[in-house]
A and B are shown apart, each in its own frame.
Chain A
């Protein structure tokens, strides 16, 4: 929604640049991670996911890197476009008795200038 980004860190890039959005997670037992994109007035939209047995996964123009040693996750967007402007959230899966439970970061706002 409109007020989601009031207190968010912001990354400003020029159209065509590559963007890197970072996320630190806290639970070393988390086994699954997701990146979501949320445009103003909309619900979060799935971008890409990665399991803890991988350190890199690529999608269309996006790459997720996972560093379990330092509990760090990053989302790389190649050739950033104005339509990529949104708030990006990482989420980690902390399973409780086998049931999925996603814990979300507070998000980063990406602003893309033409």
Chain B
């Protein structure tokens, strides 16, 4: 079975802090994704990567950056956290098929 893991289930940070969210997948998938999930808005794509060191902006990239130095790892970075970035963050990966496999999510609270 595909396994996608995220570094933290719950995270509390203060406004202005730099935040790193880590995601690791064990299925040698080329594609990895970061979403945020908010009530009433569903899942919104922040960034995705289709290869090592490659990245593309999703629908809401502002305030975020990403890093993909190794195929199995995709990191989401909040350079200066703000309260409107309080959300559930979901990482996903996919291979040749379009099916995306999700991690358990990180609930980030920015105070």
Complex contact A3–B42 (CB within 8 A):
no
Interface residues on B, range: 20 to 34
Question: Which of A7, A45, A93, A100 lies in contact with B102, CB distance below 8 A?
Answer: A45
Q: Does A6 contact B (CB under 8 A)?
A: yes
Q: Is the interface of B mostly helix, strand, loop or mixed?
A: strand
* Nearest CB of chain B from residue A10's CB, rounded to whole Å: 13
**Per-residue B-contact encoding for A84-103, CB less than 8 Å = 1, 0 else:** 00000100010000011110
Report the nearest A residue to B40, measured CB to CB: A7
Say whether A34 contacts B40, CB under 8 Å.
Answer: no
Given contacts A42-B105, A49-B99, contact A1 B88 (CB under 8 A): yes
Q: Which of B98, B99, B104 lies in contact with A43, CB distance below 8 A? A: B104
CB distance from B90 to the nearest CB of A (A): 6
Within 8 A of A (CB), among B39-82: 39-43, 45, 48, 50
Q: Tell me whether A4 and B88 are in contact (CB under 8 A).
A: yes
Q: Smallest CB-CB separation from A101: which chain B residue?
A: B45
Q: A4-B88, A99-B50 are in contact. Are A34 and B102 (CB under 8 A)?
A: no
Give A contacts to B, CB under 8 Å.
1, 3-8, 32, 34, 36, 41-46, 49, 89, 93, 99-102, 104-107
A-B contact sample (18 more), CB < 8 A, given A1-B105, A4-B37, A102-B45: A1-B37, A1-B88, A3-B39, A6-B40, A7-B39, A7-B40, A8-B40, A32-B98, A34-B99, A42-B105, A43-B4, A44-B43, A93-B98, A100-B31, A100-B94, A102-B100, A104-B43, A107-B42
Write the residues of chain B forming the contact surface with A, with a CB cutoff of 8 angstroms: 4, 31, 37, 39-43, 45, 48, 50, 88, 90, 92, 94, 98-105, 107
